[in-house]
Amino acid sequence: MIGGGAVLAAAVALAGSAQAAPETTGKRTHVVVLGHRGSPGQAPEETLASYRNALRDKADVLEGDVQLTSDKQIVLLHDDTLARTTDVEQVFPDRAPWRVGQFTLAEIKRLDAGSWFDARYAGQRVPTLKELLAVRDRRTGLSLELKSPANSPGIATLLAQELNAARVTDGGTLPSGAYRVQVHSRDQAALKEFHESAPKVPLSYLTGGRMLADDELAALAGWTVSVYAHPRVTSADDVKRAHAKGLKVFSDPVDSQAEVSMGANQGYDWLATNFPATTRRILDGRKPFPEASGVVIDSVLPDPSGDDVQPEKSEHVVLRNTTSRPIDVGGGYLRDQASNLMKIGPGYVIPPGSLLRVHVGPGTNRPDAYYNGLTAGFLNNTSGDTVSFFGADHKLLDISSYVLP
């Protein structure tokens, strides 16, 4: 990525505890919490470890992306290829581009789907839909995305058949307000194909973030129950427009205190999140980060002037010690919403009231700056992103979001 000028001052910061976030409405029972890919802020996405974490954190819904293997088995995986979240390039080096549909289920089950995230999760596997159905409990709904149906011919009908066999397609609603199962996609044809075999299952349409025009909402209202959007780019009036057409509004992932509050106050019906426990605490009016150390994410520079990984001046996250005592952050780390990792070296102590800049690119380490030495930038510099901060003991200490103009 090539930077388009320093945007730190221009960015609208949506900090976690670094800035005061707007209060939520307090109407917790009216907001359904959806664990986006499980609980991927703290475990490898769409693995059973991630889904079990989401259940532990009392998510109302478990969300995942369904795709077909070459032998027509349904697995949970977000990307079109296995390359980012498994060791497929090492196990099958001659099978590029490693698309899901190139591999049998037995071959996919050979892959490690956890080590890329953290060594603690080595040996996690890509789960099947049957395994996800077995892990969930009766109080928790499922939200399944027909992610790239063109890459999985027949996936819509096969998904309906498998859900029918599991006896979860009655269109029922759980005590939380969640549906027992709902299916969503950006592909309206795939949704309609699914509907033919499971007509009682609620359907939702992914808008890409912004709220649709009134005529588009009216067209969807005849056969879907909701649209997905993001409170960064919608307003309360947008949500009201969808509600006026009889549609619920579900969020794309929100993680920080500010974004969760925005979604709740705009009137979103469901909030998708990578941190279900944190989102629930925010909605309940409790302390978002009970193990916070006093160091917060002060700001983010995602798009420096010049190359994003230029020496000494790469994209970076600024940590701030909000206390009057020195705080050891050595061995801690940060992740963006896609789980890209920025480490903090051992022995780093932030003096009282002071800053530490954690850079993605190369540079000379000094007391107020740590450089990861990576060769490619990843902080989103076109719309915005969310960054989470963890201690060396893996405790979540802060989450901050930013929006770019």
Residue type, 323: T
Residue pLDDT, tens place only, 215-227: 999 999 989 999 9
Single-letter code of the amino acid located at 330: G
Local structure of residue 17 (DSSP, 8 states): S
Burial class (CB in 10 A: 0-12, 13-18, 19+), 59: buried
| CATH topology for the 290-403 domain | Immunoglobulin-like (2.60.40)
Longest dimension (CA), the chain: 63
Average pLDDT, rounded, for the chain: 93
The set of residues, in sequence order, having a beta carbon less than 8 Å from that of 320 and lying 6+ positions away, is: 18, 295, 296, 297, 298, 350, 353, 354, 355
What are the pLDDT digits (tens) for 223-280? 999 999 999 999 999 999 999 999 999 999 999 999 999 999 999 999 999 999 999 9
**Cβ distance 264 to 280 under 8 Å?**
no
Q: Where along the chain do the CATH 2.60.40.1260 domains lie?
A: 290-403
Task: Give residue 381's identity as a one-letter amino acid code.
Answer: N
Residue 9 has pLDDT above 90, yes or no: no
- Does residue 4 register a pLDDT over 50? no
Residue 47, C-beta contacts closer than 8 angstroms, at least 6 positions apart: 38, 113, 114, 121, 124, 125, 126, 127
pLDDT band, residue 2 (cuts 50/70/90): very low
Q: Which class in CATH covers the domain with range 24-283?
A: alpha beta
Contact 151, 62 (CB under 8 A): no
pTM, to two decimals: 0.93
Q: What is the pLDDT of residue 404?
A: 87
Q: Residue 16's pLDDT band (boundaries 50, 70, 90)? A: very low
Return d(Cα 264, Cα 23) in angstroms, integer: 9
CATH 3.20.20.190 location in the chain: 24-283
Residues 290-325: b if buried by 16+ CB within 10 A, e if exposed = eebbbbbbbbbbbbbeeebbbeebbbbbbbbbbeee
160's enclosing H/E stretch is helix 155-165
pLDDT higher than threshold 60 for residue 339:
yes
